[in-house]
Amino acid sequence: MFDGESSIPAGDFKGTVRDIRQITETVFSIHIACPVISRLARPGQFIMIRFPNRSDPLLGRPLAVSSAGGDDISICFQVVGKMTALLSRILPGEILSLRGPMGNGFGLPSSTMVTMVAGALGAAPLIFAYNRMPQNIGKNFILGVADRSWYPFCEWIKKLIPEVRFFSEDGIIGKKGTVLNGLGEELSPEEEIWTCGPLPMMRAIGQKYTRGRERIRVSLETRMACGMGGCQGCVINTLKGKKRVCVDGPVFSAEEVCWDDLKG
């Protein structure tokens, strides 16, 4: 599935909110009962989410699947605008419209060690990837956050991934610095990096290594309108031509992304 193979959206479903948990002032996690998406979802895929009885916001918003098991999936998000504000006030039993699972996902590792590098909410798809990693593959998880306000989020992640290493810009959580401080000078041939987070972070990781960039998988978060390949609203430039993040991605090889053309 990885490396440019387009995916076909699985379909439109209704999901019933099981529970909602507030993690920080602005970060929330929701469990949603949706058996088909739960069964089909693979790490790195996302859902387009809407409210069935609201025309505003009209367009769905992409959110990564952060876990899938039994009948349920979970999402984890930060309130940044109208949709996420509405989601933060949702109650158990309410119904959401879900389209998915969408996108290519991270696929299977081609090395024996995967280092997952998350910036803040970029942890969402990587939590799923970490927990679904085949047992014979070694794994690390590095999370970078801005400052102490992320402490409850880091505590929450630590419960899900006890081995996580933290970096914060003020040094209050984990080591002082950015996730780049947690990465080696060279990428060994047995190792690959999967990353998701703010664009400057992924660009820095994508451009850090002169050798081995093809072993860095980046999950891009462009704005999306249709989410299913029709509107060209999420197109990026790659060395293999123009690609749509919603159906050709969101996971790309760092080697193929034209980083200087991406805004942000």
Ligand X SMILES: Cc1cc2nc3c(=O)[nH]c(=O)nc-3n(C[C@H](O)[C@H](O)[C@H](O)COP(=O)(O)OP(=O)(O)OC[C@H]3O[C@@H](n4cnc5c(N)ncnc54)[C@H](O)[C@@H]3O)c2cc1C
Residues that bind ligand FES (CB under 6 A): 224-227, 229-234, 244, 246
Which has the closest alpha carbon to 140: 189, 66, 193?
A: 193
CA 223-228-234 angle, to 5 degrees, is 30
Q: Which is nearer to ligand X, 113 or 262 (CB)?
A: 262
Nearest distance in Å: CB 256, ligand FES: 17
Contacts 24+ apart (CB under 8 A), 175-179: 178/144, 178/204, 179/117, 179/118, 179/119, 179/142, 179/143, 179/144, 179/205
By CB under 6 A, tell whether 98 contacts ligand X: no
Q: Using an 8 Å Cβ cutoff, are 182 and 175 in contact? A: yes
Does residue number 117 form part of the binding site for ligand X (CB under 6 A)?
no
Q: Which stretch binds ligand X (CB under 6 A): 18-26, 82-90, 151-159, 176-184?
A: 82-90
Q: State how far the Cα of 96 lies from the Cα of 16, in Å rounded to an integer.
A: 6
Q: Which of 81, 92, 171, 230 binds ligand X (CB under 6 A)?
A: 81
- Phi first, then psi: what are they for 186, rounded to 5°? -125, 155
Residues 205, 179: contact at Cβ < 8 Å? Answer: yes
What is the contact mask toward ligand X in residues 50 to 69, using x (rule: CB under 6 A)?
Answer: -------x---xxxx-----
Check residue 121 for interaction with ligand X (CB under 6 A): yes
Amino acid at 149: S
Among 221, 228, 247, 248, which residue sits at the site for ligand X (rule: CB under 6 A)?
A: 221
- In the complex, the smallest distance separating the C-beta of residue 82 from ligand FES, rounded to whole angstroms, is 18
Strand partners, 99: 12, 48
Q: Is 140 in the site for ligand X (CB under 6 A)?
A: no
Interaction pattern, residues 162-181, with ligand X; x per rule: CB under 6 A? --------------------
From the CB of residue 242, how many other CB atoms can be counted at a distance below 10 Å? 11
User: What is the total count of residues that contact ligand X (CB under 6 A)?
Assistant: 22
Place of tokens 């039994």: 70
213 binds, among ligand FES, ligand X, none (CB under 5 to 8 A by kind): none
Nearest CB to ligand FES, comparing residues 234 and 251: 234
Least gap, CB of 223 to ligand FES (angstroms): 8
Which stretches of the chain bind ligand X, using CB under 6 A?
Answer: 46, 57, 61-64, 76-78, 80-84, 121, 124, 221-224, 250, 264
